[in-house]
């Protein structure tokens, strides 16, 4: 009887200790932040000053079939002379088509929200649908990964493109991976929200950031 009780206790303890590891394989997520050092053209005119943009994001991934994973990302764009200012919030629903230690491929839909927008004295507050794709490929034998993310759409006369590519270094921690990343990001938006139809914005520049993958 004592042997049986000890066996059951050992089994229960083993199951309890195994639960966090199993949860990691069943569900996870990412949180990250980037600093983007921008240059901007507004209606084909080089802007005098474009401030460094902060970009913040979080994603939740789960094993439930048919239900997409979710990601939200917020980027603040501010340009002086010509004056452009808005918050771009990306609401992404995506599926993982490939996910292993070396390669991951995601694709889905991004509903972009342009919030509190100002464009050369004109205000805008709009939604924009996009196709979304993200890919990461590890360099064999190293902690380095190449990544690329693209969001592109065209609707009701407005076209938007937000793309980035770069390199990340993965550092394994106890409960998560810390990814230090850097690369190049570009935005090419052609807004059709204004009476004079002039709403072309090109923003480019290098970025650096960090991401927790748990």
Q: What's the pLDDT score for residue 16?
A: 32
Nearest to 187 by CA among 207, 166, 203, 198: 203
Q: What percent of the chain has pLDDT over 90?
A: 74
DSSP-based three-state secondary structure for 142: coil
Q: How far apart are CA 134 and CA 65, in angstroms?
A: 20
Q: What's the pLDDT score for residue 198?
A: 81
148's tokens: 């690329």
DSSP 100: S
Looking at the structure, give the CATH architecture of the domain made up of residues 28-213: Beta Barrel (2.40)
pLDDT band at 20 (very low <50, low <70, confident <90, very high): very low
pLDDT band at 8 (very low <50, low <70, confident <90, very high): very low
| pLDDT reading at 14 higher than 60 | no
162, 141 Cβ separation under 8 angstroms: no
Quick: pLDDT tens for 139-150: 999 999 999 999
Per-residue pLDDT, averaged over 40-53, amounts to: 88
């Amino acid at each position: 009887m004592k042997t049986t009780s000890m066996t059951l206790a050992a089994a229960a303890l083993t199951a309890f200790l195994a639960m966090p590891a199993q949860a990691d394989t069943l569900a996870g997520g990412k949180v990250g932040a980037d600093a983007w050092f921008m240059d901007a053209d507004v209606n084909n005119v080089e802007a005098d000053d474009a401030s460094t943009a902060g970009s913040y994001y979080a994603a939740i991934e789960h094993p439930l079939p048919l239900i997409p994973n979710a990601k939200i990302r917020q980027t603040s764009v501010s340009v002086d002379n010509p004056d452009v200012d808005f918050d771009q919030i990306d609401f992404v629903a995506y599926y993982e088509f490939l996910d292993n230690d070396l390669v991951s491929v995601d694709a889905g839909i991004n509903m972009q929200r342009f919030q509190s927008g100002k464009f050369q004295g004109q205000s805008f507050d709009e939604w924009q649908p996009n196709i979304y794709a993200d890919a990461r490929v590890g360099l064999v034998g190293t902690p380095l990964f190449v990544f690329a993310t693209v969001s592109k759409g065209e609707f009701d006369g407005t076209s938007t493109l937000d793309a980035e590519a770069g390199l990340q270094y993965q550092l394994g921690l106890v409960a998560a991976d810390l990814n230090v990343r850097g690369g190049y990001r570009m935005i090419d938006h052609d807004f059709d929200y204004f009476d004079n139809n002039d709403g072309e914005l090109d923003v480019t520049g290098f970025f650096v950031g960090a991401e927790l993958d748990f």
